[in-house]
Structure 1
Amino acid sequence: MNADLDGPQTLLSETGARILFVDDEPGVFHGMQRALRPYRTEFVLRSAQSVPHALAAMRQWHPTAVVSDVAMPEKSGLDLLRITSADETLSRIPVIMLTGSAESDLKRKALDSGAVDLLEKPIRAEDLVARLRSAVRLRRYDDHIRTENTRLEEQVRLRTRALESSHAEMILRLAIAGEFRDRETAGHVCRVAHATAAIAEQLGVNQSTLHQLMQAAALHDIGKIGIPDSILLKPGPLEPHERTVMEGHCRIGWEVLRLDVGTGASPFVNTILSPPPKAGPTTPANDVMSMAADIALHHHERWDGTGYPTGARQSDIPIEARIVAVADVFEALCHARPYKPAFTVDRAVATIEEGAGTHFDPTVVAAFLRAVPAVLQVFRRFADAAPSAPTTHKPARPAADHTPTAA
């Protein structure tokens, strides 16, 4: 009768290390019970009379260690070792093998198969106890290491989450700083960032990249911090030389965001970071900043190559910038500015649609058209707290491409 299926056979209540004996002869287990009776406070014993029964007991009872005979009908102790070694959970249980065979190569086979030891019959109780204590220590060390690893992994996870949260917050604050002087665009940053994500999602971008893209898109106009108030806040049309200065915000943003603190190459950075971080694989944070730098530089480029500042065209424009270009222009069209009234949604959508193949990437425009409901929901969610006060309509700033765009 099998103790694992028909009830436990123990020396006392289960307060000690759990030891599973696997042997097809019940008399062997009873002999082990008698021999280990003086150690009843240390070990709780159960038996199984075959490999299948042993595997069931190991999964249900979770023994601290297993003692198994090598020679058994059908499946042997070596078969048990091969099965448990291939199982992530069962492989953690130390297995001591017993044998009455004089085969010289058997110990090597047992150890190669995953046993922690092989003892020859007849076995003295003192020798078995010494091996059991060693196996129990081994299992407890393993459990302790796993517990510590889990604890450390959780700490790393929490620290990583805190760093990511801090990084995201700094990006948002930097983006808000870029828009701070222009109160008319208070919600612009959030609307463009989330609209960008909505369009990108229609392009099949995965969630991890969507999150990075949303953060990077929030920084698309950070270069405006370098534009004089007299130009940035001018309510009327810009003079040609003023538009040239305004267009410079793309390169200013790129210069701000492309700084690679990972190399510690900048003397300025070296005065802040002590010691400078070692160069190495790109971190997720730097992935966002690299993406943000590309967006800042290229979000006013045009699909046909007539945009600024580099005149890049089609696939030479980073896909992230092509997506932000649509989100940025649509957001600007849908919201009033001192120099222009808001377009109706239908008119704004039609303007984007008309720009496909000239101003915008046609594939991105197609994704935008699918994302319009989600984009409009974003606009409602991040509506400006106080709409612009009605003013006498002033002439709209003429865009370089004669299409109403974001500044």
Structure 2
Amino acid sequence: MSKLLSKQSILVVDDLPENIDLLSKTLSDDYRIRAATTGEKALKIVYSDEPPDLVLLDIMMPGLSGLEICRRIKANPDRRRIPIIFVTAMTSIEDEQRGLEIGAVDYITKPISPPIVKARVRTHLALYDQSRELERMVHQRTHELVTTRQQIIRRLGRAAEFKDNETGNHVLRMSHYTRLIAQSHGLGEEASNVLFSTAPMHDIGKIGIPDSILLKPGKLNADEWKVMHQHPIMGAEIIGAHENELLETARVIALSHHEKWDGSGYPSGLKGEDIPLAGRIVAIADVFDALLSVRPYKPAYSAEQSLALMETQIGRHFDPELMVAFKQALPEIFRIKDIYADEYGALTDLEFKIQELNDEQNDD
């Protein structure tokens, strides 16, 4: 049974059982044969959880023709790569050209020659296997590159955080808040995940700010604020301009997360929707977590105090529409705040806390 299941699967589609029997007899020693006498049944098999590795398809059939079946398969993103070979009595050059144009990989005329059928099937299955393996390798390599970029971005973000909050997990929390606000605002999963991955770089420019300013216990004077206002520009320069979406989004966030809705922010004094959406979202996540956290110049505020202060800044510091999304996401935001609380230790220790919480949820 295991040997049978390991064989590659071929779907034979023909309205005449004798044609199916002939092709099955030709190929069954080497392949697992599945059969369909109608287009509807053929499509059901192709769209199933166990699609065939190759389709041998008659053209002249009642109901759905072979050409229409081929069109439908090729229009399905999850199945279009399955090789289709037409096996038909239609022998004109025009018929063959039409079949190949709609996506078939080959064209065998009836009456069939078993050696030719075997050779063509073997060739196209080998090509399909190579194509899938190449696709798998490209996907794996792309995933590895994206993961590596994400890890570098997060570690650099953590490096900036050590400058002014070396025991905190602000970067981790505000990154989660950013994704939650983005999702609540209606951004899709991919865009929200890009923001989650790049938000940690928002304060990378603090690496260039002297500790005497960054760690000053109390308010900064005018000259010190001038220096502090340079950290978004420093951050953008550290990251640099890139065509890569992750790095370019990180640069945009670093440069714009201190801009304010009313134009009173820095470094460029951008106003309203002139501020990039990524910067507007991160501004809310960053400020909210900062309010809840201890800083050299302030104690940690309560959730009630923090929310009250955020409310006063709607239309001033924060985009009013994004604040609606922020409020909708608050239950999840507070859950993240509790999971990644500073009292549980620094970033490297959090895996134990996450596992502990997951175990508790599984027990429930």
Q: What range describes the TM-score normalised by the shorter chain of this pair?
A: 0.7 to 0.9
**Could you tell me how far apart the structure 1 residues matched to 2:299 and 2:205 are?**
25
Q: Tell me which residue corresponds to 1:111.
A: 96
* Matched ranges for 1:210-289 at <5 A: 210-260=192-242, 282=243, 286-289=244-247
Partner Cα distance (1:53, 1:183) in 2: 69
1:111, distance to aligned residue in structure 2 (A): 3.0
Distance 2:298 2:324 in 1: 27
Partner amino acid, structure 1, of 2:308: A
Q: Distance in 2 between matches of 1:84 and 1:170?
A: 47
The structure-2 alpha-carbon separation of the partners of 1:87 and 1:305, relative to structure 1 and needing over 3 Å to count, comes to closer
Does 1:92 find its partner at 2:50?
no
TM-score (normalised: structure 2): 0.72
Structure 2 residue ranges without an equivalent (≥5): 1-9, 30-35, 46-51, 74-78, 100-105, 347-364
Q: Given the superposition, is the C-alpha separation of residues 304 and 82 from structure 1 closer, same or farther in structure 2, using an over 3 Å criterion?
A: closer
Residue 135 of structure 1 and its aligned partner are, at CA, apart by: 2.7
Aligned Cα RMSD in Å? 3.9
SS of match in other structure, 2:92: helix
Cα shift at 1:242: 1.2
User: Does residue 1:144 correspond to 2:126, yes or no?
Assistant: yes
CA distance in 1: counterparts of 2:38 and 2:339, whole angstroms: 60
SS of equivalent residue, structure 1 residue 309:
coil
Residue number among 320, 325, 329 corresponding to 2:283 in the alignment? 325
Match in the other structure for 2:308:
350
- What pairs up with 1:18-57 in 2 under 5 angstroms? 53=37
The one-letter code sitting in structure 1 at the alignment partner of 2:281 is I
- Normalised TM-score (structure 1): 0.65
Report SS of the residue matched to 2:89: strand
**Does structure 1 residue 373 correspond to structure 2 residue 358?**
no
The reply on whether 1:310 has 2:302 as its aligned counterpart is no
Q: For the residues of structure 2 that align with 1:69 and 1:177, how far apart are their CA atoms?
A: 64
The change in CA–CA distance for 1:237 and 1:92 in structure 2 (over 3 A counts) is same
Residues 1:210 and 1:63: Cα distance change in structure 2 (over 3 Å): closer
Supply the distance in 2 between the matched residues of 1:54 and 1:165 (Cα, whole angstroms): 46
CA distance in structure 2 between the partners assigned to 1:67 and 1:309 by the alignment: 64
Deviation at 1:196, TM superposition (A): 1.2
Distance change in 2, residues 1:80/1:63 (3 Å): farther
Measured in 2, the distance between the counterparts of 1:63 and 1:303 equals: 56
Cα distance in 2, alignment partners of residues 65 and 356 from structure 1: 60
Change (3 A) 1:252 1:185: farther
Question: What is the letter of the counterpart of residue 116 of structure 1?
Answer: Y
Distance in 1 (CA, whole Å) between partners of 2:40 and 2:320 is: 61
Residues 132, 318 of structure 1: CA spacing in aligned structure 2 closer, same or farther, 3 A cutoff? same
**Partners of 1:179 and 1:202 in 2: CA distance:** 27
- Following the alignment from structure 1 to structure 2, what is the Cα–Cα distance between the partners of residues 222 and 64? 52
CA distance 1:235–1:161, change in 2 (3 Å): same
Counterpart of 1:107 in structure 2: which amino acid? S
Aligned match of 1:266: none
What one-letter code is carried by the residue in structure 2 that aligns with 1:193? S
* CA shift in 2, pair 1:95/1:207, >3 Å: same
How far 1:348 moved relative to its partner? Answer: 0.5
The residue type equivalent to 1:187 in the other structure is: N
Structure 2 residue matching 1:242: 3-state secondary structure: helix
Aligned length: 310
CA apart distance, 1:68 = 7.9
CA radius of gyration, larger in: 1
Q: Which residue of 1 aligns with 2:6?
A: none
User: What stretches of structure 1 of length at least 5 have no aligned partner?
Assistant: 1-16, 34-39, 46-51, 99-105, 120-127, 261-281, 389-407
On the 8 A contact 1:302/1:359 being kept in 2, the answer is yes
Partner deviation per Cα, 1:195-227 (whole Å, 9 max, x = no partner): 111111110011101111112211110000000
In the alignment, does 2:296 pair up with 1:338?
A: yes
Q: Distance in 2 between matches of 1:366 and 1:67?
A: 55
**SS of equivalent to 1:181:** helix
- Using the TM superposition, give the Cα deviation of residue 140 of structure 1 relative to its aligned residue in structure 2, in angstroms: 1.4
Tell me the alpha carbon deviations over residues 208-254 of structure 1, each in whole angstroms, 9 at most, x when there is no partner.
01111112211110000000111112222222211211111111011
Pick the structure with more helix per residue.
2
Distance 1:373 1:58 in 2: 48
Q: Give a deviation string over 1:262-315, Cα, whole Å, max 9, x none.
A: xxxxxxxxxxxxxxxxxxxx4xxx212222222212211111111111111111
Q: How does 1:152-167 map to 2 (within 5 A)?
A: 152-167=134-149
Residue 303 of structure 2 aligns with an amino acid whose one-letter code is V
Return the match for 1:190 from 160, 165, 172. Answer: 172
Structure 1 CA distance, aligned partners of 2:177 and 2:213? Answer: 27
Does the 8 Å contact 1:304/1:314 carry over to 2? Answer: yes
Pairwise CA distance, 1:338: 2.9
Change (3 A) 1:339 1:158: same
